[in-house]
Amino acid sequence: MQDKIRVLISEKDIERKISEIGAEISRKYTGRTVHLICVLKGGAFFMCELAKRITTDVSMDFMSVSSYGSETASSGNIKIIKDLDESIEGKNVIIVEDIIDSGRTLKVLTEMLQQRNPACMEVCTLLDKPDRRVADVDVSYTCFNIPDEFVVGYGLDYDQKYRNLPFIGVVEF
Ligand code: IMP
Ligand code: MG
């Protein structure tokens, strides 16, 4: 690891917050099945930890999208790299994201999935950079709001590296 990485949110703080969100989702969906949709690859670590803390029935599916254009500024044009395996019709969908930056990717994604007629659809994100928001998106559960800094770890990468860090860190370029 050549880059210097400063801890922004510790593993302990992340886990405590995920437990709170998991409990909130469990209360809200008691007696119903929650269908978690992971947006790959960044959302994978968060979704696994979240799923373990939900006490009502959970089903899971995975989707991979890429936004055209540069990596650091998403354009809002998204391409499906891997679509869901199952239909979401009539399901209580929660989209699980690593981070919401401009919100463009999520806006296009939620509009696309809404057309598939889920019973309901919410968004749960590990991180949010509200200062960077361009597209108007409705986020039901946010673990942490963070300042406009480039972060890695807990699923988030810099050039495909550092996803496996157990904390959220800032790369000191
Ligand atoms: P948006 O469409 O601008 O909201 O793009 C969000 C996506 O950009 C996330 O799913 C990440 O893949 C990526 N991203 C945004 N900010 C960061 C960051 O600080 N670290 C790592 N990836 C980021
Ligand atoms: Mg993402």
Enzyme catalytic residues: 101
Neighbours of ion ligand 2 (CB under 5 A): 39, 42, 98
Helix axes of 11-28 and 44-52: crossing angle, nearest 10 degrees: 60
pLDDT > 90: percent of the chain: 89
Instruction: Pick the ligand that lies closest to the CA of residue 63.
Output: 2
Residue 158: CA count within 13 A, CB half-sphere: 18
What would the mean pLDDT of 31-48 be, rounded to a whole number?
97
Rg (CA), the chain: 16
Atom 8 in ligand 1: residue holding the nearest Cα: 101
**For the segment 81-111, what is each residue's pLDDT rounded down to a tens digit?**
999 999 999 999 999 999 999 999 999 999 9
Sign (positive/negative) of CA torsion 16, 19, 24, 27? negative
pTM over 0.75: yes
pLDDT of residue 2: 77
Question: Taking every pair of C-alpha atoms in the chain, what is the biggest distance, in angstroms?
Answer: 48
Instruction: Pick the ligand that lies closest to the CA of residue 156.
Output: 1
What dihedral angle (degrees, nearest 10) is formed by the CA atoms of 154, 156, 160, 161?
-50
How many Å apart are CA 25 and CA 117, to the nearest integer?
A: 21
The binding-site residues of ligand 1, defined as CB within 6 angstroms of any ligand atom, are 42, 74, 98-106, 150-152, 156
**Residues present in the chain in total:** 173
**For the segment 132-150, what is each residue's pLDDT rounded down to a tens digit?**
999 999 999 999 999 999 9
Measured in Å, residue 89 CA sits from the centre of ligand 2 at: 23
pLDDT of residue 1: 61
Atom 19 in ligand 1: residue holding the nearest Cα: 150
